[in-house]
Amino acid sequence: MLNKKTVDDLQVKGKRVLVRCDFNVPLQDGAITDENRITAALPTIKKLIADGGKVILCSHMGKPKGEAKPELSLAPVAKRLSELLEKEVVFAKDDNVVGENAKAAVAAMKDGDVVLLENTRYRKEETKNEENYSKELASLADVFVNDAFGTSHRAHCSTVGVTEFVSESAVGYLMEKEIEFLGNAVNNPERPFVAILGGSKVSDKINVINNLLEKVDTLIIGGGMAYTFAVAKGGKVGNSLLEEDKVPYAMEMMKKAEEKGVKFLTPVDTVITKEFKNDTEFKTVPTGEIPDEWGGLDIGEETRKLFADAIMGAKTVVWNGPMGVFEFENFAKGTKAVAEAMAQIDATTIIGGGDSAAAVNQLGYGDKMTHISTGGGASLEFLEGKELPGVVAVDDK
Ligand code: AMP
């Protein structure tokens, strides 16, 4: 159980509540193309409004690297949030984030009002967790709520530093939900427990593989990272993605799986091409027999069946990372097969954010999953067994 204060433990009537959200949504020509992160933040915001708090929202957007970049302004989020809440959200346009405009907007607030600050990363101190900016943010508020799961693996001013300079801090509902689902799945799973990892690099997921081998019944590896395992098994992978320096690690992990009695599944066949693009000749070959000048872009049909069968028998499934270059239609079949199998089963199914979440939503399986995490990097660190600084910093119950 989460041993941290939550919004249910706070008395916010008449108090200024600074809420760190993750409104880092994708934008195209100023329009929001996926608003999942905004809707995910609504329960906490609505609760604080209903309780009569003065609700001051903040978030980062992209990587402005300490500069006020207009294309990374949170203005479009304020507009959409107003529509979703059916209530005015005052946008405190302010290149200094906590400058004169923001201070004036907060000073004018009545109970139940909502203000959204400008992109917290317009200030270079943010990502360095510098005290002066943490104090400035805290000066706007009495209480701090962290509901930004997607940024909770980063110790920044608006996620960690600020907690030192407010009288009380708590986690929001989204944060609570994310930790409950991911935590239960990993630490108290209904078995069989199957984890599926994909994506481009073994090096990004070294600690995840190592930690999950302590927990799961079956570990499935697909995507670009699978070729390093194919080489570790003595296969040839042509010009597929390969991290040669990680081959010994791949061997070690396969040995660990055997010792622990964990079923370790890697692709048996692979869809290969000579060029890295959608419209090009492709064929399917056994995974360890990829000719020179050819490289793998997706798992093959036999592997799709092998992985789907393993998923079908599971009671808990956690998935992070695509099975192939799913951005190319011709090489999205493996990723689709995993999403489809997960959508069909009667089990706890968790998607660990990032590309797999985008794929599941695009395919229309979003509402078939138990939980889709709003944080790719944060959920990976959670799966590594790490403590998240943004959660640790919040007051204990
Ligand atoms: P990551 O950022 O590590 O989660 O990896 C996601 C990326 O891995 C996606 O953009 C995929 O296109 C890419 N990917 C998956 N499988 C392959 C592959 N076989 N070859 C090259 N890239 C891949």
What is the distance between the alpha carbons of residues 305 and 308, in angstroms, rounded to a whole number?
Answer: 5
* pLDDT bracket for residue 130 (50, 70, 90): very high
Q: Which of 118, 147, 151 is nearest to 47 (CA)?
A: 147
Q: Is the dihedral of CA 124, 395, 35, 225 positive or negative?
A: positive
Question: pTM for this one?
Answer: 0.89
Query: Catalytic one among 150, 288, 354, 390?
Result: 354
User: Is 223 near ligand 1, meaning CB less than 6 Å away?
Assistant: yes
Q: Give the whole-number percent of the chain exceeding pLDDT 70.
A: 100
For position 358, what pLDDT does the model report?
86
Counting atoms of ligand 1 from 1, which one is nearest the CA of 321?
A: 4
**Known active-site residue 201:** yes
User: Is 200 near ligand 1, meaning CB less than 6 Å away?
Assistant: yes
Instruction: Compute the average pLDDT of residues 296-306.
Output: 98
Query: Catalytic one among 79, 201, 260, 368?
Result: 201
Pairing of strands 143-146, 168-171: parallel
**Known active-site residue 154:** no
User: Is 222 near ligand 1, meaning CB less than 6 Å away?
Assistant: no
The three-state (H, E, C) secondary structure of 278-332, written as one string:
CCCCEEEEECCEECCCCEEEEECHHHHHHHHHHHHCCCEEEEECCCCCCCCHHHC
Query: Catalytic one among 366, 377, 385, 386?
Result: 377
Distance from Cα 387 to the centre of ligand 1, integer Å: 26
Q: Is the pLDDT of residue 363 over 90?
A: no
Q: Is the pLDDT of residue 335 over 90?
A: yes
Instruction: Compute the average pLDDT of residues 369-393.
Output: 92
User: Is 204 near ligand 1, meaning CB less than 6 Å away?
Assistant: yes
